[in-house]
Amino acid sequence: MKTYYAKPGEIQREWLLVDATDLVLGRMATQLAAILKGKTKPTYTPHVDVGDFVVVVNAEKIRVTGNKAEQKTYYRHSGFPGGLKETSYKEMMAKHPERIIEKAVKGMLPKTSLGREMGKKLKVYAGPDHPHAAQNPRTIELEGC
């Protein structure tokens, strides 16, 4: 019996819809990263992007456990000396709640060109509306969130 390797031309991609209301950030992000990598499919191949598209709605209603709401900070650097910027979780949640989920999931993907392609399949929206109705996304429930 030979091992099956998925070819880029024969991948069947699906659109999935996740409602982030009252889901824990880290637990949700690990499951989304597995879906984007394609690890939930029987045709998973490590060197080929076989994952599905994921649309996350209601990003403004996620939860974090413990004291993370007060203590968590996000850093970014401009590349220039003294260019380190930091933003608290509360500020980020008030201004850009979708970026919280994007950063959490992309941090769990490979840091390669393949990982960047996987990250492009994640679509996050703060409210309940999204522009991907034409793709007929299938609603899924994440386990253990």
Domain CATH code at residue 117: 3.90.1180.10
Total number of domains in the chain: 1
Helix ranges restricted to H, 3-137: 25-37, 68-71, 89-95, 97-106, 113-119
**pLDDT tens, 9-41?**
899 999 999 999 999 999 999 999 999 999 999
Express each pLDDT in 77-129 by its tens digit. 999 999 999 999 999 999 999 999 999 999 999 999 999 999 999 999 999 99
Three-state DSSP class for 30?
A: helix
Is residue 102 helix, strand or coil? Answer: helix
Q: pTM of the full predicted structure?
A: 0.93
Give a yes or no: residue 87 inside a domain.
Answer: no
59 is a domain residue: yes
Residue 36 forms part of a structural domain: yes
Determine, yes or no, domain membership for 26. yes
For residues 25 and 54, give the distance between their C-alpha atoms in angstroms, rounded to a whole number. 15
Token pair belonging to 52: 């599905």
47 within a domain of the structure (yes/no): yes
Q: Which domain holds residue 122?
A: 13-64+97-139
How is the beta sheet containing 53-57 ordered, strand by strand? 122-124, 53-57, 15-19, 138-139
Q: How far apart are the C-alpha atoms of 58 and 105, rounded to whole Å?
A: 16
